[in-house]
Amino acid sequence: MPDFPNDHNEANTGGIAADCLRSIIERTERLEEERKALSGDIKDIMTEAKSAGFDVKVIRQIIRLRKQEPAEVEEQENLLDIYRRALGM
């Protein structure tokens, strides 16, 4: 019996559902564009912060710290203090 495409697998090629694949790719492309736009927005905010006299490097460090658990931040600060003392700083 010949293998004719039907409505269910008509868009399948080599076991890949073309519509599903296209949807995944298009959604990913949209998100990549959104990420690019957001990165530009963040850059603008950091430029604003710098022009207001803030240290952008420190702002980024604070943002990174705020994402961590307080216990993890405290542990890192304690280790940093220990290392500084060990080096006579």
CA distances from 34 to 6, 26, 28, 37 (A): 37, 12, 10, 5
* pLDDT tens string 49-80: 999 999 999 999 999 999 999 999 999 999 99
The structure's pTM equals 0.64
Domain range enclosing 47: 10-53
Which of 65, 64, 47 is CA-nearest to residue 56?
47
Q: Which two tokens stand for residue 28?
A: 């990913």
Q: How many domains does the chain have?
A: 2
36 falls within a domain: yes
Same domain, 46 and 61: no
The C-alpha atoms of residue 29 and residue 21 are separated, in whole angstroms, by 12
Q: Give residues with Cβ within 8 angstroms of 63, minimum separation 6.
A: none
The verdict on 44 and 77 lying in the same domain is no
Tell me the per-residue pLDDT of 8-52, one tens digit each, with 9 for 90 and over: 545 566 777 889 999 999 999 999 999 999 999 999 999 999 999
Tell me whether residue 4 is in a domain: no
